[in-house]
Structures are given as structure tokens and as C-alpha cells.
Amino acid sequence: MNSLSRAAIASLALAAMSIAQAQTAPDNTKQNQVDATNKVASADMQKNDKTDLALTQQIRKSVMADKSLSTYAHNVKIVAVNGNVTLNGVVHTQQEKDAIEAKAQTALGHGGSIVNNLKITP
């Protein structure tokens, strides 16, 4: 096999690896399983209180509208119970953690509280 053929095969192998990595969806399941705090406030704790549902929806819309946030940040858990918001999940940076908390605070206004249990990926 000549050096040109070897280079072509190596290039194809590298391209195939790149495609496989690009098709792998972001997955923070492993981090969520290790992080016990992610089980504290889950979606099943959220009741059908219209005020809490509206608050959660407003925060979620704000988070999803921010295209500067990572996929991990877009998928954080947001739970509102009696006007109190709990944020759980994994984000990439301190800036994402702070941005999500700020969005929750804006939606919450001056009432209620926020528990920010967001973790930054190691």
C-alpha cells in the first residue's frame, strides 16, 4: 500500500470518527445519577397550581430563548412550589448558572425564594 492510500484511509477514518462524535447527543445522565441533589426537587413535586405553572413556564421560556446557553443549561430542572423555585441540573460554566438564576429571579420578582442547586460539569 503506498503512502497516498494510507493517508486516504487515515483521513476517512478520522472523518468517520468526527461524524460519530458530532451525532452523539449531549448527555448529562451520568452526572445527574451521581448528584444526589438533583433528586431533591423533581417535576412530580410541581402541582397544578396555576401560579406555579405560570412561573415555571416563564422561567423555562426565558432559558430556552437564550441561545448563548448550552444544551445542558437548556435542560435544567425548574420546579416551582408555592412560589418558591428550585433549580437542579448540570451546566457548563458559572456564567450559565448565574444567568439561569437571574432569569428565575426576574420571573419571581420580589416574592418567594430560589434554591440554586445547579452544578458545573467537572
Determine how β-strand 84-91 pairs with β-strand 77-81. antiparallel
Quote the cell numbers at residue 26. 449531549
Domains for the chain: give ranges and CATH numbers. Answer: 27-120 (3.30.70)
Predicted TM-score (pTM) of the model is 0.65
pLDDT in single tens digits along all 122 residues of the chain:
555 566 667 666 656 565 655 555 555 555 555 445 444 555 556 667 788 899 999 999 999 999 999 999 999 999 998 889 999 999 999 999 999 999 999 999 888 899 999 999 87
Alpha-carbon distance of 102 to 114, in angstroms, equals: 10
Alpha-carbon distance of 17 to 56, in angstroms, equals: 39
Quote the cell numbers at residue 52. 406555579
Report the run of H or E that residue 107 belongs to, with start and end.
helix 94-108
Report pLDDT digits (tens) over 88-100. Answer: 999 999 999 999 9
